[in-house]
Chain A
Amino acid sequence: MTTIDSSHAASGESSLTRLLAADVDWLTSSDHKKIGRLFMGAGLLGLLATIVVNLLIAAERIDGGTAIIDSDAWTQMLSSQRVGLIFGAALPMAAGLAIAVVPLQLGARAIAFPRLVASGMYLWLGGFILSVIALANNGGLGGGDADMVDLFLAAHGLMALGFTAVGTSLVTSVLTNRAPGMTMRRVPAFTWSAMVFGLGLVLVMPVLFGTLVYLFVDHRSGAREAFGGNQGITTWAGWVFTQPTTFLFAIPALGVFAELLPVTFRKRMPMRGLVFAGLSLVGIGALAGTSQQFRFEVPWEGSQLYLGGRDDVRTKLYDVLPWAFFHLLPVLGAVILFMTMALVAKPEKNDDGERISPNVTAGFLFSFFGFGMILVGMGGAVLEPIVDLGLIGTVMSEASLVYIAYGTVLGIMGGVAHWSTKLWGRALDMKKAAPLALLGVAGVVLAGFPHYIAAFNDQPGGLAYDNSDLQILNILVLVGHALMGLSVVAFAGLLASVVLGGDAAGTAVDDPFDGHTIEWATTSPAPAGNFVDVPQITSAEPMLDMKTANAASDAGSAS
């Protein structure tokens, strides 16, 4: 069952009527490109709101001895930070890009179950708005207003249902909507990452929903025995805001990076199977969510290096194996992507003996920096559970979450820059966008890394700290969030100029980056239904094959 929007003819109507018709057309659309763009647009707003919260938190932390904000508001701001980074920014932006781009890459006329995806988007949007209302009224994690806590739980239930719907649609699209000849090995890397991400959502979000049902009934009924009332929300549902579950939400950003690597370096992707395996390994982080692992603790001191009897070995394996499985395997996946980059970036010469120069675009810069930040965030998450390092309960968890969420956002911004021609019919001005990638990465490094150092100096996860040497680090964090905010605002402005058609210089051609995959075979912007004729796929890089064959044919006819 496919659903394709047809455009509405609105000639002869007043401008207000046309505007209303256009709004209704957008809000009720079943075109995946419109749904994806709405998702990303709302996610961008959520991100900006979260950055404001992050700025307030960072400003409050400049002086670790005194508090301007009262303790209830402080608790809610920390909740807002986690909810905003995951449900307000990283997840909707990643899901939006996947919804908008995956059917184009598959050569499909539509996404599977478009109305389900649209419902998922609205469930998320409704849930997120209700969640903001609850947080603003002392109803978040550990909140003091009982009704608002109920609202917070219900809002997260809506968001979990919404993302389950999105995941179902993405996985079904990849499994059933591929163009003729596109085997699973020929699927583009970003589409593969979207499938792993979708599968992760289908596995994780229902578990979150079930937990929220328990928490809601326990809290609403007044029993508040089984799960500890409002204080128990973090214990029982906090895993969705915590590493390694959050690795799952970064997978589409890693997919953008894997997708842009061969295009940027003008080569075929080497060892596609290994790249796919790497992206899938990152998805193992999702299993921590399905098993509701909130906190890992790995005692390492001396005794871990000495293995005594059988019981001793077993005890230590129980400590180390879950950590190794849920934390190290996803990092291995990201390292595989890094090694692929090293292979692809190796300088080579073409048949004429000329060095192949890379075509570094703003999209690649964003995705490269996003990948780097995610990797650093994963590194922090690996270290945190090792008891002997004393990082549990410090700002380490927050810092690695900031790295992963902001890194994901940077990666998705890279994807938006890369595919803007297909989605809006105009390219982002690369000269203006590239500095924003640098500004963004500087912001993320400053927002995250000083807290890594502070964590090793025992700065606790809350507001207060008594070591005055940490103040400078917290000021740097404030500067980092401000720089990230600037980068995102400027990027949103640049995007708005493209969307509103103000940037005439950015008018796009169909294939501006010498793309390898079939979305570049259709016009810019992609029409309703995506393709006039669905192309026949004969390899993983059909556009590159076609260009190579055309070049050979041109050379033959010239001689």
Chain B
Amino acid sequence: MEALAAGPAPAPRNQLTIGAVIGSMALAMLTGGMLAVWAVKRSASLADGEAWLPSGVTVPEVPTNVMLIAFPALCSFAQWAIWSAKRNDRANTVFALGVTAFIALLIVNAQAFVYNQMGVVAADGEYGSMFYAITGTFMAMMVVGLLLSAVTAFRYLAGRTRDLEILTAHAIFWYAMTAVYSAIWFLVYVTK
């Protein structure tokens, strides 16, 4: 009996890139779901004639806006890493990855500063627990991103300079995080 003919070796089909896109979908669903609950609770509170933001709490606009501006810069550096890796420019690639991680670290620091400035207490009612839940999840995602930047840089430094896929996946993650923070910024810090 004839058997099925063997095909050519399967071509690489951007597994990491597709995986990163699907992972970004998961991030979007996580943030979207949390912000939807936030919006429902805020709207219910206002409908009851109560203030949503606890009295005495003000949102520090400078660090929250700086974080928003930092994200496009972070994405530019992640994209720069791809651009230079395509041209076999090792120094620029490593530098771009390093700067990406550094900006991410600054964003984490800015968020910690926001916590300090706002002085919200988690146990103080609806706003406190929800504020820390949503921004804490965002911080956890930032830590994941930092780890991803570190892994990407180590793989590149270890000699896998032809592996552009992980650089693409790394950039996709940061694009998704930019969308995530933009939504949080608008609903939590601007709309208040």
Q: Which residues of A contact B (CB under 8 A)?
A: 1, 107-108, 112-113, 164, 167-169, 171-172, 175-181, 202-207, 209-211, 213-214, 216-218, 221-223, 225-226, 236, 290-292, 518, 521, 533-537, 542-543, 546, 549-550, 553
Residues 1-25 of B, flagged 1 when their CB comes within 8 A of A and 0 if not, give: 1111111111001111011001101
Q: Are B19 and A172 in contact (CB under 8 A)?
A: yes
Chain A residues near B31: list those with CB within 8 A.
Answer: 210
Which one of B68-76, B104-112, B125-133 is at the interface?
B125-133
Contact flag A202-B122 (CB < 8 Å), given A176-B14, A518-B4, A535-B5: no
Which one of B34-42, B55-63, B81-89, B92-100 is at the interface?
B34-42
Q: Are B133 and A214 in contact (CB under 8 A)?
A: yes
Q: Are B29 and A207 in contact (CB under 8 A)?
A: yes
Q: Are A177 and B30 in contact (CB under 8 A)?
A: no
Q: Are A202 and B4 in contact (CB under 8 A)?
A: no
Partner of A213, one of B4, B8, B133: B133
Q: Are B2 and A226 in contact (CB under 8 A)?
A: no
Quote the shortest CB–CB distance from A405 to chain B (angstroms): 24
Quote the shortest CB–CB distance from B35 to chain A (angstroms): 9
Chain B interface mostly: helix
Q: Are A535 and B128 in contact (CB under 8 A)?
A: no
Q: Are B19 and A113 in contact (CB under 8 A)?
A: yes
Quote the shortest CB–CB distance from A434 to chain B (angstroms): 29
The chain B residue with its CB closest to the CB of A533 is: B6
Chain A residues near B29: list those with CB within 8 A.
Answer: 202-204, 206-207, 290
16 A-B residue pairs with CB within 8 Å: A176-B14, A177-B13, A178-B10, A181-B7, A202-B29, A203-B29, A206-B27, A207-B30, A211-B34, A214-B133, A217-B136, A290-B29, A533-B6, A534-B6, A535-B7, A536-B7
Quote the shortest CB–CB distance from B61 to chain A (angstroms): 25
Quote the shortest CB–CB distance from B63 to chain A (angstroms): 22
For the complex, what is the distance from the CA of A446 to the CA of B104, rounded to whole Å?
58
For the complex, what is the distance from the CA of A221 to the CA of B101, rounded to whole Å?
32
Partner of B33, one of A107, A108, A206, A518: A206
For the complex, what is the distance from the CA of A164 to the CA of B128, rounded to whole Å?
28
Q: Are A209 and B6 in contact (CB under 8 A)?
A: no
Quote the shortest CB–CB distance from A110 to chain B (angstroms): 10
For the complex, what is the distance from the CA of A108 to the CA of B14, rounded to whole Å?
15
Chain B residues near A211: list those with CB within 8 A.
Answer: 33-34, 37
Chain B residues near A290: list those with CB within 8 A.
Answer: 29, 33
Contact flag A521-B22 (CB < 8 Å), given A206-B30, A211-B33, A217-B136: no
Partner of B129, one of A168, A226, A236: A226
Quote the shortest CB–CB distance from B170 to chain A (angstroms): 14
Q: Are B37 and A210 in contact (CB under 8 A)?
A: yes
Quote the shortest CB–CB distance from B138 to chain A (angstroms): 11
For the complex, what is the distance from the CA of A214 to the CA of B18, rounded to whole Å?
30
The chain A residue with its CB closest to the CB of B6 is: A533
User: Is B124's CB within 8 Å of the partner chain A?
Assistant: yes
The chain B residue with its CB closest to the CB of A518 is: B4
User: Is B46's CB within 8 Å of the partner chain A?
Assistant: no
Contact flag A175-B18 (CB < 8 Å), given A202-B26, A536-B5: yes
Quote the shortest CB–CB distance from A155 to chain B (angstroms): 17
For the complex, what is the distance from the CA of A252 to the CA of B169, rounded to whole Å?
29
Q: Are B122 and A221 in contact (CB under 8 A)?
A: yes
For the complex, what is the distance from the CA of A202 to the CA of B128, rounded to whole Å?
29
Residue of B37, B125, B134 with highest tally of chain A CB at under 10 A: B37
Q: Are A226 and B126 in contact (CB under 8 A)?
A: yes
Q: Are A521 and B3 in contact (CB under 8 A)?
A: yes
Chain B residues near A177: list those with CB within 8 A.
Answer: 10, 13, 15
Q: Are B16 and A1 in contact (CB under 8 A)?
A: yes
For the complex, what is the distance from the CA of A221 to the CA of B128, rounded to whole Å?
9
For the complex, what is the distance from the CA of A204 to the CA of B2, rounded to whole Å?
45
